[in-house]
Structure 1
């Protein structure tokens, strides 16, 4: 292996160390800000170290065909030390700012969703209720007028058919007494009267 390849491998390991420190601080800040359960942290640590090992091996394989030498560990150590001495605080601040910006953006999007979608739907729902109530009141009013107009004709019709209905009623009265239909009809009539009083005499 030439000297230039060794320096290139060492530089790649140094960058890998910087990346490992950045990712580690980043996921730690995210887990703290998002209040992950504490039992998740060991699981995340294992996942992190497995992913870091795979990435480092991939970089090492690309730079020197996967040969493990002392300068590989030296490069990783230098990268990690430089990161924690110079960049760790900056990365933590940037990650916290990004989390705050994402939260702010989500809050703005939810507010826009409420203003543009939720509130118009609620307004249309309330408007529909008002229209339905108005239509119901108008229908009841018109029905009352129609009943008042039809009432004289109904009385006239009842007077005209009375000679026919009287014998029929006498014939049916024996059956109604036998089946106690009169009491049932009275109860039904009282129910109709109460409903009529409730709906049309407000």
Structure 2
């Protein structure tokens, strides 16, 4: 490996050390180890470091055929330390601003979706429901009117042509029928009340 290749690899490992710092800060921002002591955190930690190790190996493979030297490990440490000392505060502030901007954008689209799709859909469904209640009330009122119209002629006919002793029985039967119809009417009124628009 030539001197220029060694120098390039050294710079790359230093940059990878800084990348470790950036990745670790980002990872801890979204997966806070202080608040989550679970198997999920354990697995995610392992996956995080496996990915970082694979990235380092890929860089080494591209630059010096995957040869690991001690000074390259030192370069990783130097890059990480440089990030902690010089860039950590700046990067965390930028990361928080970026997250805040993304949050505002997501919130805007959520409000837009609610006002353009969800709210009109709810209004339309409420309108259809109230319309259905009005139509149902009208149909039930017509049914009650028809039942009353059918009942009254029979009542008058019984009074004209039926003998008195039959009238007593018919009256008893009609009273029972009326009681039954009254019960039905009360139930229908309950249904109408349920369908009544607020």
Q: Are residue 194 (structure 1) and residue 163 (structure 2) matched?
A: no
Q: How many corresponding residue pairs?
A: 182
Q: Indicate the residue corresponding to 1:4 in structure 2.
A: 4
Kept in 2: contact 1:10–1:72 (CA 8 A): yes
Deviation at 1:144, TM superposition (A): 4.2
Written as runs of structure 1 = structure 2, the 5 A alignment for 1:164-183 is none
Distance 1:197 1:23 in 2: 72
* Rounded Cα–Cα distance in structure 1 between residues aligned with 2:125 and 2:35: 39
- Matched residue, 2:46: 46
TM-score by length of 1: 0.72
CA distance in 2, matches of 1:35, 1:78: 27
Q: Is the 8 A contact 1:10 1:74 kept in 2?
A: no
Partner of 2:196: none
Return the alpha-carbon distance in structure 2 between the equivalents of residues 41 and 144 of structure 1.
Answer: 68
The runs of 5 or more residues in structure 2 that have no matched partner are: 194-198
Provide the rounded CA distance (Å) in 2 between the counterparts of 1:35 and 1:149.
78
Within-5 A mapping of 1:77-88: 77-88=77-88
Partner of 1:115: 115
Which structure has the greater CA radius of gyration?
1
Long gaps (5+) in structure 1: 170-181
Task: For 1:44 and 1:189, locate their aligned partners in 2 and report how far apart those are by CA, in whole Å.
Answer: 75
Q: What is the aligned partner in structure 2 of residue 100 from structure 1?
A: 100
Q: CA deviation at 1:87?
A: 1.0
Contact kept in structure 2, 1:26 and 1:91, CA below 8 Å: no
Aligned to 2:13: 13
Matches within 5 A, 1:118-197: 118-147=118-147, 149-150=149-150, 154=154, 186=176, 190-197=179-186
For residues 57 and 198 of structure 1, the distance between their equivalents in structure 2, rounded to whole angstroms, comes to 79
**Deviation of 1:23 (Å):** 0.2
Alpha carbons 1:5, 1:63 under 8 Å: kept: yes
**Deviation string, structure 1 residues 137-167 (Cα, Å, up to 9, x no partner):** 222333344445555655687789979xx8x
Report the Cα offset of residue 74 of structure 1. Answer: 2.8
Q: Whole-Å Cα distance in 1 between the matches of residues 126 and 31 of structure 2? A: 43
Counterpart-to-counterpart distance in 2, 1:71 and 1:112: 55
TM-score, normalised by the number of residues in structure 2: 0.73
**Partner residue, 1:23:** 23
